[in-house]
Structure 1
Amino acid sequence: MQLTGTPFLLLTIVLVPVSIAVALLLWGRVRGPKPFQALSRIVMLLFCQLTAVLMVFVMVNNANLIYGGWDDLLGTGNHVRAVPNVQAQTDGGPGNDAQRPKVIQKFEPVGDGKVPDDVRTTDLKGQVSGVDGEVLVWLPPQYDDPAYKDRTFPVVELLPGWPGSSKTWFGTLRVSEQLKPMMLSGQVAPFILVSPRTNLLGDNTDTGCADVPGKVNADTWLARDVPQMVLDNFRADPAADRWAVAGYSAGAHCAAKLALEHPDRYRAGVSLSGYNDPGTEDKSLTAKDPHLREVSNPLNILKAAKTPPRTALYVSGNKGDGLEAGEALKAAAKAPTTVTVQETAGAHSSDVWKPMVPGVFTWLTSVIPAAGH
């Protein structure tokens, strides 16, 4: 039974009145010594409370898709098959692993009722990173239009927070449902949207989207294996100018990091309520190593660059929740790097990020060219 599935949700709802009914039925029928009677009734009350808390948790999790499955919740899913030493790329661009044979993936509808039916998923075995995980893909309405049959499309990688699910952008933030009419009307460019798994370790640790020796090649998974899969299977443009990466919360940190670290693979990065210093997150792997903490900080990456990267950043956040990080990046940026900062109001939640989707993609449309030949 899936954690986010309707059957489990219905089970938790049914258990609440059942637990109350059981308690009412047995309350006066408990026999034995008074301590035993008291203990039995306490257990009944705790069972009632447990079912209520479980129901609320499942409802909140289904609404926000914080945990995509039991493995993520229990910390029992390890998606790292191997941790090879990754050789640096020499020719740049999202398609710079194109020398190897193409790998054609099998895609199926997600089909869990939490995301739109036109979102497809595949299980990808990362050839370079040693990471295995699901990747969700949504194609713009123009993709199957005969007028676009010879066109290639720009791509945006969508990263969730931590903990988070690859479904969250499509399920909770409703990114494809919000953008589809805007793409049809021409307000927003027809982007291919890709959301890969970022929760990779079985110990409930945030990878920081970094390559951590002996532990995980998360950076390589996101910036090489996932883009190469998209290029192998779809009419995606291989030019770095046609790629962007966006995220919220911990995914926002990753988006800024990847965009600044790999300007030969991404033209733009979007950070919604993110942070620069990974040391602010106790569960981050990069926070535990002083060197990784330093080199994974987007502000340090920007300052250390010998040549200012041709990267456009969109950074939003409330005071104390991403705004200061964006202002620091903007102050450090030198042409051709550009940083757009937007102050937001509200809690660190999807209620803030969801309505920002149209504006974010309008901005991306102004930065990244539309479908081309």
Structure 2
Amino acid sequence: MGLTSNNVLLLAVLSAVLLFAGTVWLWPRLARRGWRAVGGRVGLLLATQLALFAAVGLAANQAFGFYASWADLLGQEKDQGVVVDHARGDGPLEVVASRRVPGAGGAQPQADGRIQEVGIVGRTTRIATPAYVYLPPEYFQPRYRTRSFPAAVVLTGYPGTASALVEKLHYPRTARELARAGRMRPTILVMLRPTVAPPRDTECVDIPGGPQTESFFARDLPEALRSHFRVAEKPGRLGIIGNSTGGYCALKIAMHHPDVYAAGAGLSAYYKAPIDATTGDLFQGDKGLRNRADLWWYLKHRPAPDTSLLVTSSKEGESNYKDTLRFIERVKNTGRTRISSIVLESGGHNFNTWRREIPATLEWIGERLDDRRNDLGN
């Protein structure tokens, strides 16, 4: 049974309940002074505590999508390597599986769209990572068969799982509902982790001698998408969204590469790459690289990028609230970069908060992906 299986969670909860009941029932019998009685009491307490801890941990993982599998939890994830048979002409992206959008009533892609699980290999960085691609219903409809579509890259936090973007944050379902209501253009969503070299948190940085993560998102990923899907090649047709670590990545990549990404949305983002046990030394002593990854420094010392940014926070529950207000003012003072925000009255750093922000975020980014020369309608 998988780590995220409901059966595993149910088994953990049932074990905790039974061990608690057993402790209450057996405690009078173990109330003696002998080493066996003492050992029995210690064993029952430890077993109950471990079962309770496991149940709470599994429930939290179900809610927040920290780890996708036992191998992922133990740092032994095995599905990162993606084999691409270039002799067959498959290119840098290969479709692994296809399924319907969760919550969709029918099974026809022309009516509800389709989610494809893909493997992507960066042509220049050689970074390999899995992803999910949501294709809207219009993608499969005959009248749009020759049309290209705007696209948005969607990133998780760290460590995160790409499947959580589909199953927990409901990006495809929300995009489909917004398009049906005429509040968003049909848009391709490309959903993946910013952690492309697990278990290391690379913070979307080109690490000297290490993974060239920023180059993967700025160059290899757009190229792979356009080689396989009808993603528009014209400027202004690609956006990027992320939460937490993914939010920092989205803002940074949009600022560094405005010629590639017309808009970047950071949900509960921070504005400077951390250095800790999960990241290691990202910059290898390179001060220029460190400064470039610091969005505060970048806004002060580099020309303002011609892009649109969205930041989100909440007055109660988010630690980035004051920094977000400062960031808004700093961007406004550039006079060129456009800034928008979503500020909730309250909301923690969690999926429930981001689900409240995602509909408005998708509407916002859809309005900024130039579609005037490509008649897709609404």
| Range into which the TM-score falls when normalised by the shorter chain | 0.7 to 0.9
Residue among 92, 96, 106 paired with 1:107: 96
TM superposition shift of 1:323: 4.7
Deviates more, 1:102-111 or 1:174-183: 102-111
Contact 1:108–1:121 at 8 Å: present in 2 too?
A: yes
Distance 1:101 1:143, change over 3 A: closer
Deviation at 1:241, TM superposition (A): 0.4
Instruction: Indicate the residue corresponding to 2:167 in structure 1.
Output: 171
**Structure ranking higher on relative contact order (CA contacts 8 Å, 6+ apart):** 1
Q: Which amino acid aligns with 2:330?
A: A
Letter in 2 for 1:218: T
Alignment partner, residue 327 of structure 1: 326
CA distance in 1, matches of 2:342, 2:230: 33
1:205 corresponds to which of 190, 196, 200: 200
CA distance in 2, matches of 1:29, 1:77: 45
Of 260, 272, 275, the match for 2:270: 275
More displaced, 243-252 or 141-150?
141-150
Look up the match of 1:87: none
What residue ranges of structure 1 are gaps of 5+ in the alignment? 82-99
Alignment RMSD: 3.3
Residues 230-278 of structure 1: per-residue CA shift (max 9 Å, x gap): 2122111122300011111111111001000111210000011111122
The alpha-carbon deviation at position 189 of structure 1 amounts to 1.3
Match for residue 253 of structure 2? 258
Distance 1:197 1:59 in 2: 21
State the partner residue of 1:92: none
Q: Is this contact kept in 1: 2:201–2:278, CA < 8 A?
A: yes
1:340 correspondence with 2:340:
yes
> What residue in structure 1 maps to residue 298 of structure 2?
301
Q: Output the CA distance in 2 between the equivalents of 1:46 and 1:172.
A: 33
Q: Secondary structure at the match of 1:227?
A: helix
The match for 2:122 among 123, 126, 147 is 126
Aligned counterparts of 1:355 and 1:74: Cα–Cα separation in 2: 32
Change in Cα spacing, 1:14 to 1:126, as seen in structure 2 (3 Å) is: farther
Instruction: Give the deviation of 1:25 after TM superposition.
Output: 7.2
Distance 2:295 2:196 in 1: 21
- For the 8 Å contact 1:165–1:199, the answer to whether it is kept is no
* Alignment pair present for 1:235 and 2:230: yes
| Aligned mates of 1:166, 1:125 — CA distance in 2 | 16
Q: Which structure 2 residues correspond to residues 136-151 of structure 1 after superposition, within 5 A?
A: 136-151=132-147
Worse overlay, 354-363 or 125-134 = 125-134
Instruction: Select between 68-77 and 170-179 the one with higher mean Cα deviation.
Output: 68-77
CA shift in 2, pair 1:246/1:281, >3 Å? farther
Identical counterparts, % of pairs: 26
Contact in 2 for aligned 1:79/1:200 (Cα 8 Å): no
- Letter aligned with residue 326 of structure 2: E
Question: Which 5+ residue runs of structure 2 have no aligned equivalent?
Answer: 82-88, 108-113
Q: 2:353 corresponds to which residue?
A: 352
1:8 aligns with 2:3: no
Code of the residue aligned with 1:247 in structure 2: it is: G
Shift of 1:22: 5.6
Mean Cα deviation higher: 275-284 or 177-186: 275-284
Distance in 1 (CA, whole Å) between partners of 2:281 and 2:336 is: 28
Describe the shift of the 1:239–1:301 C-alpha distance in structure 2 as closer, same or farther (beyond 3 A).
farther
Q: Distance in 2 between matches of 1:188 and 1:211?
A: 33
Structure-2 separation of matches of 1:326 and 1:244 = 23
Check conservation: 1:114, 1:171, Cα contact below 8 A. Answer: no
Question: 1:188-238 deviations in whole A, cap 9, x for unaligned?
Answer: 111111112322344x43211111122222112222332222212211112
Which has the larger displacement, 18-27 or 216-225? 18-27
- For the 8 Å contact 2:194–2:249, the answer to whether it is kept is no
Amino acid aligned to 2:39: L
Equivalent residue, structure 2, for 1:19: 19
Post-superposition Cα deviations, 1:20-43, rounded to whole Å, max 9, x if no partner, equal 466567667779981232122211
Structure 2 counterpart of 1:277, one-letter code: K
Report deviation, 1:48.
1.7
SS at match of 2:311: strand
Q: Confirm or deny: 8 A CA contact 2:12 2:54 kept in the other structure.
A: yes
Contact 1:256 1:313 in 2 (8 A): yes
Corresponding residue number in structure 1 for 2:363: 362
CA distance in 2, matches of 1:127, 1:12: 44
* Distance of 1:114 and 1:23 partners within structure 2: 43
Residue 214 of structure 1: SS of its match in structure 2? coil
- Shift of residue 110, structure 1, vs aligned partner: 6.8
- Aligned partners of 1:23 and 1:45 also within 8 Å: yes
